[in-house]
Structure 1
Amino acid sequence: MDKSLFTDLLQSLEEAKAIRRGETKPSRRFTVSPPDAKSLRERVGLSQSEFAQMIGVSIDTLQNWEQHRRNPSGPAAALLRLVSANPELALRALNHPR
């Protein structure tokens, strides 16, 4: 590994430790909010069972998202963002007839 790259990496790790200990503030923060599952489902015009089946989750999981008891994460959150960005394309890609 290049010595300057190693030095940069080491400096980044030291900064991360200082942030973790509360000694310094991060230079930037990113927050990603998952799309609102209920409004998204209503926007595409599907029932809970249709929407849950289309995205491959149980109705209970969808209801938990809709009632904000849980939040979608990982691939589920990414899929909801895709559906939100382009519902028509997502419906076609997921083979759901309108």
Structure 2
Amino acid sequence: MTEDQFFNDLQTSLDQAIDHAKGKPSKARTKKVEIKELALFTAEEIKSLRLQMNLTQKSFAALMGVSIKAIESWERGTNQPSGSARRLLEILKNEPHLAEEQKIISL
């Protein structure tokens, strides 16, 4: 792709995006995506999930990418997981063996 072709493609894409944003008919491809609201987890649910996965607080912290202190505070109910941690907790709640299947952990 030459520099002129790249510029022309980029200009066309930008024009389509602007037309779409203004509500004008355009050739821009769009797709509506619905994202499920983040789940809330109680301290008991977090601890139960960790125990179901047969993980120590240290191992669970490593899996979640947070400190052991964070896991302790979640399980005491003094702090709530962040949005991304809540999404990961939801995934693990639905598929507790996923981390092992993906070779993120080995038991």
Q: TM-score, normalised by structure 1?
A: 0.63
Q: Please tell me whether the aligned partners of residues 65 and 71 of structure 1 are also in contact (alpha carbons under 8 angstroms).
A: yes
Q: Please tell me whether the aligned partners of residues 64 and 70 of structure 1 are also in contact (alpha carbons under 8 angstroms).
A: yes
Which structure 1 segments of 5+ residues have no match?
Answer: 3-29
For these two proteins, the number of residue pairs brought into alignment is 72
Which structure 2 segments of 5+ residues have no match?
Answer: 1-21, 24-36
Partner of 1:49: 58
After TM superposition, where is structure 1 displaced by more than 6 Å over at least 4 residues in a row?
Answer: none
Task: Quote the Cα distance in structure 2 between the aligned partners of 1:96 and 1:39.
Answer: 18
Identity of aligned residues (%): 32
Q: Please tell me whether the aligned partners of residues 48 and 62 of structure 1 are also in contact (alpha carbons under 8 angstroms).
A: yes
| Deviation by residue 1:7-44 (Cα, 9 ceiling, x = unmatched) | xxxxxxxxxxxxxxxxxxxxxxx783236211110111
Give the C-alpha shift of residue 54 in structure 1. Answer: 1.4
Q: TM-score, normalised by structure 2?
A: 0.59
SS in 2 for 1:46: coil
Task: Quote the Cα distance in structure 2 between the aligned partners of 1:56 and 1:94.
Answer: 15
